[in-house]
Amino acid sequence: MNVVVIGGVALGPKVACRVKRVTPEANVTLVDANALISYGGCGIPYYVSGDVSDHTQLQETSFHMVRDVEFFRTCKDVTVRTQTRALAIDRKAKTVRIQGPDGREEDLPYDKLVLATGSTPRVLPIPGRNLPGVYTVSNLEAAVQIKEAVASGNVSSAVIVGAGFIGLEMAEALADMWGIETAVVEVMDQVLPGFISPTLARIAQHHMEEKGVAVYTSEKVLAMEGDGRVTRVRTDKRELAADLVILAVGVVPNDELARQAGLTCHERGGIIVSKTMQTSDPDIYAGGDCVVVENLVTGKPGYYPLGSLANRQGRVIGTNVAGGRETFDGAVGSFILKLFDYAFAGTGLSLPMARREGFDAQSTQVAQFDHAHFFPKKDLVTLEIVFERGTGRVLGIQGACANGDSLKARIDAVAAILKFRPTLADISNLEVTYAPPYAAAMDVLNMAANAADNILHGRCDPISPEDFMQLWQNREQENILCIDCREWGNAEPYVTKHPEFWKNIPQGQLRDRLAEVPQDKKVLLICNTGGRSYEAQRILHAAGRRDTLDVPGGMGLLRQCGFDPAAE
């Protein structure tokens, strides 16, 4: 059996090796247009930063062998042809026309063909995009060029266009390790648009700004300019100095080869595959960044250019090419991102995404320690859970924490069950491991579902951090009063600074001080993380006051967003 694999980064090598393990007698040829293959693309920002010292480390196995042409020949019995481009597929003759590094063309026969053509960075039609010093993170070769430019000492300022995963990771790499003056420009009104809510985006942006990265949202890049080399970026609001520019405005699937061969592709891009990862031609498989698969939350096609998915899909394809019958059902869309001292992670749908998909969705935030509150070492975890009104179905969860391992554990727990359409009750009662050094007895994950359930059943009337901050900025016109439900030691700076708008009534005293809650003001209840303010609202509900608003996450969440009335 002749198996031809086009593409040699993540999925392609996985398929090739799996086929040889299951069917050792198969003749497997892997073709890639570049010289460097089989590398961890998600490690590129860490190579640029210097955390990974040499690019070959991204190509190494766990036992430090470099996955190059010779490695695949001797260790895997796979023929690899680098710097070789696939030009066309003849489905009737079952051949692939290729062009080698010397320019000569030939036809490779196949019994089974695998398309692992990946994706290409989206390049906007911006003047100056072809100037020297303007890069995209397209492959490992491009990363080497960026690293060499930075290491030369000639880059003192950089602009990242796009505040998605790659853009923010590259911003950290340049600012943190190299001390380069770095700015991020994003046309949307928040960082990580679509992936996280405005609240979590505000936390991410505030943290990056604390670390010296300038972040400009709702801003459009008009041109990259310079005499022979880029020296500045012009936006619709300002001009930014730039010795280096990285365009990171997303990727598009490389489906042109498939389209030209008549394979079915999605109208918005990407090869359509079955659950067995077969294209519309049963002898041609595809996976990784060039395909669309089912979103297991919405039931609609989704695009997930993630190395983790590519590797899992590669194993399924390799098994099926070798005669098996495994399936890849789809994805819920899980991610985790390191930004300086914080991790941001999520699975499923964010609130903006859920509403765009037509769900009657709502979300709420909680902030709680990842370990028992009495344990000496602990970090605050902020979780935002997205749910469907009426049914209580959980649509997604996202969060932020300085302890990435703690955050990942909570997100992974939800990711594992999200395709089974869990409800808030399922997450509220989700069994997780407990010991004080690792978690609280009532885990923050359970607490997030409980908080959402309280909203769903009318026991809590919340206000989002964004709406709270907006009201506070217009506090005189809005006639608000914040009732601080903490003890005086916590509340005193706020009451002293803003006596007309901030009043301290500890939650334990509220029943005896109900008369002090004014009838003629918009009352907002707040504490450290939301627990006491929620209980205060329940006390007021019992007393007949249904016109108050609770701030979930409390001052802990607001400070993470960079907002603290006592510091004004």
Instruction: Give, as one character, the DSSP assignment of residue 59.
Output: G
What are the helix (H) ranges across 287-379? 307-321, 351-356
Helix, strand and coil percent figures for the chain, each rounded to 5: 35, 25, 40
Cα separation of 335 and 91, whole Å?
Answer: 36
What are the helix (H) ranges across 165-300? 165-172, 178, 198-210, 256-260
Instruction: Give, as one character, the DSSP assignment of residue 371.
Output: S
DSSP secondary structure string for all residues of 410-448: HHHHHHHHGGG--BHHHHHT------TTT--SS-HHHHH
Instruction: Give, as one character, the DSSP assignment of residue 54.
Output: -
Task: Give whole-number Cα distances, 568 to 229, 272, 473, 563, 564, in Å.
Answer: 43, 53, 11, 9, 7
Residue keyed to tokens 């609609």: 300
Bridge partners, residue 271, by sequence: 265, 291
Bridge partners, residue 278, by sequence: 285
Q: Is the dihedral of CA 259, 265, 270, 272 positive or negative?
A: negative
Dihedral angle, C-alpha 262, 264, 265, 266, nearest 10 °: 140
Q: Is 42 a catalytic residue?
A: yes
290: nearest Cα among 4, 10, 3, 72: 10
Instruction: Give, as one character, the DSSP assignment of residue 173.
Output: I
Kindly report the backbone phi and psi dihedral angles of residue 319, in degrees, each rounded to the nearest multiple of 5, phi listed first.
-65, -45
Cα separation of 440 and 294, whole Å?
Answer: 35
Annotated active-site residue in 42, 75, 460, 482: 42
Task: Give whole-number Cα distances, 180 to 55, 174, 183, in Å.
Answer: 21, 6, 10
Cα separation of 212 and 2, whole Å?
Answer: 54
Give the residue numbers annotated as catalytic, written as ranges: 42
